[in-house]
Amino acid sequence: MSQPCTDQVVGNILAGWRYDISGLHPEMSLDYEQHFEECAHCRSRRALHRGIDVALIVISSIFALLFLLAFLVVRHFNPHYAVWFELAALAGFAFSALVWLGVALATPAPMTIADAAKLGARHVHDRLPEEIRGRIPEEIRVRITS
């Protein structure tokens, strides 16, 4: 059984925003960040929502690629009824691309993916030997470690 929210008023506000405070001014988001640190319930809900957002982006990307591949396969074999298959494949590709765009614009999933990539880069950077780390340009090193 999950724990209840520690501050139901703040929890309800965050739930209405789908636990996304990325668009808030940094000064305004301090209280919400504090709440995320204190409240395991809201932290887990935010992780769930970001997981769903990332899954939607990945799934729509896979389907867009599959529809594009289907279009290319039909185009290659070119049966006499290929026009309908080509149109269906292009419609599927367009719909998948539209879903991808909608999720990317309406959710903080791209920032979540970028943050995960930065975290992975920082992890790799920290494990590199010092002589190799010294060869990395300063501007890249600052971006990785910030």
Query: Tell me: the pLDDT tens digits for 16-68?
Result: 777 777 777 878 888 888 888 899 999 898 889 888 988 999 999 999 999 99
**Structure tokens given for 80:** 């006499």
**Structure tokens given for 50:** 């970001």
Q: Which of 83, 93, 38, 109 is nearest to 60 (CA)?
A: 93
Compute the residue count for the chain.
Answer: 146
Is the pLDDT confidence value at 1 over 70?
A: no
Q: The whole model's pTM is what?
A: 0.69
Q: DSSP for 68-91?
A: HHHHHHHHHH--TTHHHHHHHHHH
